[in-house]
A and B are shown apart, each in its own frame.
Chain A
Amino acid sequence: MNWISDFVRPKIKKASPKELSDNLWTKCPECGQMLFNKELEKDFYVCSFCGHHLRLPVLKRLQMLFDDGKYRALSLPKLQDDPLNFKDSKKYTDRLRSYRKLSGRDDAIVVAYGEIGGIKAVVAILDFSFMGGSMGTAVGEGIVRGAEFALKTKSPFIAISASGGARMQEGILSLMQMARTTAAINQLKEKGFPYISVMTDPTTGGVSASFAMLGDINIAEKGSVIGFAGARVIEQTIREQLPEGFQKAEYLQAHGMVDIVVNRTELRDKLIKILKLLLNR
């Protein structure tokens, strides 16, 4: 025994950054500034330093959009889980179970209705935190029901996307949701009701290549990644660096794919303005 082996480690533990951020602070992924969570919530999850749009939880967005934050959720029918009996490193049913527990909802979509600027509207919103907002039969069902409800109540339909694309675990049935959602949107459009697509970060794959790109008006939230193929896949295909700002909302606007790029804080006002103009109110 000597003074070296007798050394007692100090018992002060370094607080892990994760604990901090979970409780009080969030680090802006763009500028690295620490943002006080309460402030961040008030700012609709927009960084007060650099204006970067962090992901906005689904219910917060609904509160933000509807008048006085008041809306009703449309109940969606329950479909058969896991039609393919899919299993990769984990069973799909287990994945579903854990995401359901985490989110308290059945799948990656919420359909709500209420008034926006005094105009009755139906809003379908994808939840990126639920399996990457991926579109399987349940998300497809949500879009179809949402569009049908809009048709029934003669209201505009607003789809707010945040999705990595199709849900691979539902195989071909998830691919079919591209045609299915398009069919539902098309029925609404043909009857003359407005369909507005709001693309948020990220909107890619089967979602961007179906209902998300088909808005009478396409709106993109500032800085959102929007595209068909993932940047990594493209890089592997062409084996060169991608251009600056590639697949960002502003890039899509410059290439003629979206009408308007908005700051999240202005989204509600922008939607009200557009609905009023379209409906001649």
Chain B
Amino acid sequence: MEKSNTVNLDFEKTIAEVEEKILHLKDIELGDGVNIDGEITRLRQKSERLLKQLYSKLTPWQKTLVARHPDRPHSIDYINLLIEDFENLSGDRCFADDLAIIGGLGKFNGRSVVVIGQEKGRDLETRVKHNFGMAKPEGYRKVQRLMDIADKFNLPVIAFVDTSGAFPGVEAEERGQAQAIASCIERCLKLKVPFVSVVIGEGGSGGAIAVATANRIIMLEHSIYSVISPEGCASILWRSADKVKEATEALCLTAQDLRRLGVIDEIVAEPTGGAQRHREEAIKRVGMAVARHLKELENQSGEELKRRRTEKFLKMGRHLAKSE
């Protein structure tokens, strides 16, 4: 597995130290030509072991940090690696092209599909360009337009969810953020083609469910999906930003929590140390899961897909009914 360079998070200090040692040894090796391969291998194994240990018991707050890790693969990376002949389609035909959500046509495993992805951007320039992944109404209206195309040409829809939430701003309200999200959810429910959504990082509230009202919802192992950000929840319910860890625990926002609550269909295991450490491998695993779900859905008629999707969401919470 090719390991990608990544920024270490605060709680990964022990690993950072080992990795530093490895780098240091490599420098020596280059300098003196002394063979210390054995020692490097040993340290590498140690670092792997530590990572495995650490990542097997991440707290919800640590998962939140991993889910937001700047080096985690983004929608653009998934599209680049999984979608062939991608053709980006722009605009909502009403107002603007919102780059917080990118989308278009492409081939997935040889089959034409419509792809939608929330994109946060990676550096200052692209973050501004993609508005940090926070879509405005035109973004949600672009999604609806793309879904019209999917329905008309009978193309399955794949959506990648990665947003802290819909953009809270005057212009977004002016142009009907609430209406745009509501009608986007409605549009998702009306689709007559297979629809699979993957939460690859952060699934932030209404802005996320607008593109995740799907037949199948998949989450990466260390991604989160929540009704409100831990920070927002802490400031509203605890009236203190310091209580963010408590809020994160209380919200039950990890993939494991959501699976237990029956909200999502599958968790895709991340490579050791998180998707940010092995980007390609993580993307490939997601690709395999999506392919499997699309295959399972391909024999259902359009009406059936729509009916089952509706039933799936009509049940959300009802499965917790008290036995009478």
| Contact surface of A with B, Cβ cutoff 8 Å | 77-80, 83-84, 86-89, 136-137, 140-141, 144, 166, 168-180, 182-187, 204-206, 208-214, 226-230, 233-234, 237-238, 242-243, 246-247, 255-257
Expressed in whole angstroms, the minimum distance between the Cβ of B287 and any Cβ of chain A is 25
Identify which of B190, B257, B310 contacts A172 (C-beta below 8 A): B257
- Residue B169 lies at the interface, judged by CB distance under 8 Å to chain A: yes
Inter-subunit contact B209/A178 (CB<8 Å)? yes
Known: A171-B251, A172-B263, A229-B172. A212 touches B182 (CB 8 A): yes
Inter-subunit contact A228/B177 (CB<8 Å)? yes
B154-190: CB near A (< 8 Å → 1, else 0) gives: 0000000000001011101111111101110110111
Residue of A nearest to B177 (CB): A228
| Contact surface of B with A, Cβ cutoff 8 Å | 166, 168-170, 172-179, 181-183, 185-186, 188-190, 205-206, 209, 213, 225-228, 232-233, 236-238, 243, 246-247, 250-253, 257-258, 261, 263, 310, 313-314, 316-318, 320-322, 324
Expressed in whole angstroms, the minimum distance between the Cβ of B307 and any Cβ of chain A is 10
Inter-subunit contact A84/B252 (CB<8 Å)? yes
Residue of B nearest to A139 (CB): B317
Inter-subunit contact B317/A140 (CB<8 Å)? yes
Inter-subunit contact A213/B320 (CB<8 Å)? no
Inter-subunit contact A234/B169 (CB<8 Å)? yes
Identify which of B181, B253, B322 contacts A79 (C-beta below 8 A): B322
In the complex, what residues of A have CB within 8 A of residue B226's CB? 171-172, 175
In the complex, what residues of B have CB within 8 A of residue A255's CB? 174-176
Inter-subunit contact A88/B237 (CB<8 Å)? yes
The 7 closest A-B pairs by CB, nearest first: A137-B317, A229-B168, A208-B178, A176-B316, A228-B177, A175-B227, A88-B237
Q: Complex formed: what's the CA distance from A184 to B318 in Å?
A: 13
Inter-subunit contact B237/A168 (CB<8 Å)? yes
Inter-subunit contact B313/A175 (CB<8 Å)? no
Q: Complex formed: what's the CA distance from A144 to B319 in Å?
A: 14
Residue of A nearest to B264 (CB): A172
Inter-subunit contact B313/A176 (CB<8 Å)? yes
Instruction: Give 13 A-B contacts (CB < 8 Å), ordered by A residue.
Output: A141-B317, A171-B227, A172-B252, A175-B205, A175-B227, A206-B205, A214-B183, A228-B172, A234-B168, A242-B170, A243-B170, A247-B173, A255-B176
Known: A168-B251, A173-B316, A180-B316. A77 touches B321 (CB 8 A): yes
Expressed in whole angstroms, the minimum distance between the Cβ of B80 and any Cβ of chain A is 29
Inter-subunit contact A176/B209 (CB<8 Å)? yes
Expressed in whole angstroms, the minimum distance between the Cβ of B139 and any Cβ of chain A is 13
Residue of B nearest to A87 (CB): B250
In the complex, what residues of A have CB within 8 A of residue B174's CB? 255
The CB with the most chain A CB atoms within 10 A, among B166, B227, B251, B252, is that of B227
Inter-subunit contact B228/A211 (CB<8 Å)? no
Identify which of A80, A210, A213 contacts B322 (C-beta below 8 A): A80
Residue of B nearest to A240 (CB): B170
Identify which of A137, A187, A210, A246 contacts B320 (C-beta below 8 A): A137
Known: A186-B189, A212-B182, A228-B177. A177 touches B168 (CB 8 A): no
Q: Complex formed: what's the CA distance from A186 to B232 in Å?
A: 31
In the complex, what residues of A have CB within 8 A of residue B263's CB? 172-173, 176
Inter-subunit contact B170/A171 (CB<8 Å)? no
Q: Complex formed: what's the CA distance from A180 to B238 in Å?
A: 28
Expressed in whole angstroms, the minimum distance between the Cβ of B238 and any Cβ of chain A is 6
Inter-subunit contact B181/A228 (CB<8 Å)? yes
Known: A88-B250, A176-B263, A187-B310. A213 touches B168 (CB 8 A): no
In the complex, what residues of B have CB within 8 A of residue A175's CB? 205-206, 209, 225-227
Expressed in whole angstroms, the minimum distance between the Cβ of B168 and any Cβ of chain A is 3
Inter-subunit contact A86/B250 (CB<8 Å)? yes
Inter-subunit contact B189/A176 (CB<8 Å)? no
Q: Complex formed: what's the CA distance from A256 to B178 in Å?
A: 12
Identify which of A80, A179, A205, A246 contacts B170 (C-beta below 8 A): A246
